[in-house]
Amino acid sequence: MNRIAILAAFLALGACAKTRSVEPLIVTKEVKVPVIIPCIDPKDVPPRPVYSDATREIAMNIFDKTRLAEAGIDERQARETRLEALIDGCVKQQPGS
């Protein structure tokens, strides 16, 4: 019986013992990561137009459809030119270029 009482006392004292917690090691490092920075202001981007060839109707004759298709091509080329100018300006502004 004595042995059981002594064993119980050791177990009770062992349960009350405070364990040392290991503090995490915090190390601050500087990591250089490229970050995308927008160089075009959203108000500078031209709005998406409604192209004239988008309004084609089935009942139109082939000549009117061809004229509208050519006008749509011209409008798309004009928009493409404006967008390329914006992109070229953005690329030339990048630091380190």
pLDDT tens per residue across span 2-44: 788 787 777 776 666 666 777 888 899 999 988 777 777 778 7
Are 86 and 41 within 8 A, CB to CB? Answer: no
pTM: 0.50
pLDDT digits (tens, 9 = 90+) for 31-85: 998 877 777 777 878 888 888 877 767 777 888 888 888 988 999 999 999 888 8
Residue 97 pLDDT grade (very low, low, confident, very high; cuts 50, 70, 90): very low
- With a CB cutoff of 8 Å and minimum separation 6, the contacts of 79 are 46, 49
3-state secondary structure 17-74: CCCCCCCCCCCCCCCCCCCCCCCCCHHHCCCCCCCHHHHCCCCCCHHHHHHHHHHHHH
- HSE-CB of 89 using CA atoms within 13 angstroms: 12
